[in-house]
Amino acid sequence: MALANTGVRRLLVDSGEPRGWVSLRVDLVTALLGVWFGIGLMIDAWAHTNLTELETFFTPWHAAFYSGFTAVSGWILWQVWRNVRAGRQGLAAVPTGYLAGLLAIPAFAAFGFADMMWHTLLGIETSLDILFSPSHLGLIVTMLLILTTPLRSAWNAPDVGSSPTLMRLLPALIGFAFATTLVSLFLSYGDALQWRPARVVEAFSSLEDPGAERVAIAMVVTNIVMLAPLLFLLRRWKLPFGSVTIMYTLAVLMPGAQTEFENVPILGSLMVSGVVSDLLILWLRPSGARRGAYWAFAGLSGLATWSLYIAFASVAGGGLPTVPELWTGAPIVAGLIGLVLGVLFLPNAVDTERA
């Protein structure tokens, strides 16, 4: 035992070499295994939302979720072990961008055990309480750290630069998009993408309907959840065409799973708005170094996204809402919030090459 402990301590002592970066292929595998992990959570979220008879922790849905965790964790650990075999020790063995994900692995496992005990002793949540369970919150935070590993890996990678190609940025986009879906999941009570088109039209057709306030609040929350990640990325990179489309397409999977894809027109509106936002990037060329264009994109993207939301809901839901102030003003509010976010994210222009 003493010999084993001595070996572990020696392994943890940093050997002094500068930490290196993994290849695009390694990051892509990390991202795709994260997709397995993320889709496993979506399947589990669907089960918790739609199968009220759940009575045990040991379900096929949890198996899909935790097998994804095992796969992506094993891959991350393998990258570290390869460097250990090459003679590196301590932090020198951990690829740049992979440390937070590595530390999140045992933390996630601990929260997974806590979740099992929570369900065993207190039962299975199937309503709003699922989003406030302490063990679930621990799982989601550590999962965020694991899924965003490709993003951190690419952030300062020497072969990325400020104007990366779509392929080079793809692992970061995939990981960040799935991380965004986790946030939307735990803000499901304020997710405008879960509303059916007819209900949106109905809610915005009466000032007496409490749904009007709920839809308006959900649009504000979802606008921030969707737009903030884009502004974060645009502060660092000149995003290649297709980036927003990819992120928004992946983002609809979580609300789609939760609603059994019964609100496809609403989900489709976000996917189309991804294409529109990509076109806005092509036109405005926003970046950390172009503050005016960055602010303009933030406002116009919010305005376009929620104008399309109202348009798709109206077409699929039987016509325009009858309270014009609501359906005309809500997208404008979204655009103004986008502008405020843009100012907060980029109060002054920055040198993206040194970000």
Q: Which of 32, 64, 33, 70 is nearest to 46 (CA)?
A: 64
Per residue of the chain (355 residues), what is the pLDDT tens digit?
544 444 445 556 656 677 889 999 999 999 999 999 888 887 876 766 666 555 555 566 667 778 889 999 999 999 999 999 988 888 989 999 999 999 999 999 998 888 777 766 656 655 666 777 787 888 899 999 999 999 999 998 999 989 999 999 999 999 999 999 999 988 888 999 999 999 999 999 988 888 899 999 999 999 999 999 999 999 999 999 999 999 999 999 989 888 888 899 999 999 999 999 999 999 999 999 999 999 999 999 999 999 999 999 999 998 999 999 999 999 999 999 999 999 999 999 887 665 5
> What is the percent of the chain with per-residue pLDDT over 90, rounded to a whole number?
65
Domains and CATH numbers, the chain: 11-163 (1.20.120), 187-355 (no CATH)
DSSP conformation letters of 170-204: HHHHHHHHHHHHHHHHHTGGG-GGGS-HHHHHHHT
What is the reported pTM?
0.89
pLDDT of residue 215: 95
Residue 238 in contact with residue 353, Cβ under 8 Å?
A: no
Residue 116 in contact with residue 43, Cβ under 8 Å?
A: no
Residue 218 in contact with residue 192, Cβ under 8 Å?
A: yes
Residue 263 sits at φ, ψ, to 5 deg, of -120, 45
Going from the C-alpha of 183 to that of each of 34, 177, 254, 292, the distances in angstroms are: 15, 10, 10, 29
Between CA 6 and CA 161 the distance in angstroms is: 42
Q: Which of 282, 315, 323, 317 is nearest to 300 (CA)?
A: 282
The end-to-end CA distance of the chain, in Å, is 46
pLDDT of residue 114: 85
Half-sphere exposure of 300 (CA within 13 A, CB side): 15
Between CA 316 and CA 331 the distance in angstroms is: 18
Between CA 79 and CA 31 the distance in angstroms is: 14
Between CA 302 and CA 308 the distance in angstroms is: 10
Inter-residue long-range contacts of 49-52, CB under 8 Å, 24+ positions, other chains counted: 49/126, 49/258, 50/260, 51/126, 52/126
